[in-house]
Structure 1
């Protein structure tokens, strides 16, 4: 015969009820925590990819703009697979004036591109001098082969991967053609 239930306000919860509620609470907390960690991981990945993409686009835009505004450029390989690109280009001033700009792709380490501009000729730097150049991007590898820069006549092509930790690389591929024929007296190479 079943016992009649009493409405006793002092009755409380049974041990089984507490275990079931604790298990459900633990399950909900685990799901919420895993969603939070997943969101943080995704946010970090997107941030890293965005930073790499932005930085790589700045490198490509700098090279494109200066090569398009150049009268001539010269690409050499000073050491191994390193590349040295120098161009004579116009300044972005109200009056027409000239400057020398250069980029140096160093294949060593993670791979990097450095930049320098000057009002006098820029020569291929020594490793010590290269440290004084502006570091534009690290984590650079050629898209294919061993060259980041390739030329054909007055046209320059830039192809590289911008590495982002263990994520897929950001691919940059661009080209620009020099506006040869403008006059000026600055010699850059």
Structure 2
């Protein structure tokens, strides 16, 4: 299993993660047949069920919320991500372990030691080979969240601008694993920057 082929996208809500991970997925499909795209929370039947619950239940106790996220991640890792990597796939994931350290840790107030221990106990304290953190002007990303179609919104979209800014700032502070920060730009320029950084990563890590 080559965890260097495990690539994740992180960032606050409305930063364009879903757009950019799809663009990288399509480009990789042109060069490498074995590419799997997934997301968190989600990626499995259990994960998608929990996604609906977690994103529509704003009053969960912080440690309960964290435990549910990590439990879903452990199942996702064991049943989807790890088997795909073992088969030689590239795996692209929209959010992974960094999200928990930001949302439940830096913003939610849980100690990093608690989050780490929880992952270790479930054998999921794993950092991807590469993590892109997409940045955005908080005012712009906040407005994107507010403009989402009603049936797609969740309590994260309805958080205050103060919380939204706190999430953006927390991602900028994050220093866990192999992170590449992608500064705010147009979708097209961001795609170009992501692809360039990815190619540099291939050369530097000699993945292929």
- Structure 1-normalised TM-score? 0.25
CA radius of gyration, larger in: 1
Larger helix proportion of the pair? 2
**More strand, by proportion:** 1
Higher relative contact order (CA 8 A, sep 6+): 2
